[in-house]
Amino acid sequence: DFAAVVSEDHQADEPLVLMCAEGSLAKGAAAVLEAAGFKRVSTLDGGLRAWEAAAEEEGAGVPPLVIDEDGEGGLTGAWV
């Protein structure tokens, strides 16, 4: 159960930001957490692909994503 796993490490009133490649899976996961009583859940609109596109725009002020050797990536500490 996703909500049970998250609740092992996070309190229901703690702010959480969920991310996935395009944003749709994160929105579904956020709905599950909200239904389980998590109160401060947000998602990254458009997902990591939107972040990456914004980072490529000159002067956008968005830092690039970091990709690990295993092809995974994102932001340090972002994964549950």
pLDDT in tens, the chain (80 residues): 899 999 999 999 999 999 888 999 999 999 999 999 999 999 999 998 888 888 888 887 888 776 666 555 555 444 44
- Among residues 25, 33, 31, which one has the least CA distance to residue 8? 33
- Which element (helix H / strand E) includes 25? helix 24-35
Q: For residue 62, what pLDDT is reported?
A: 81
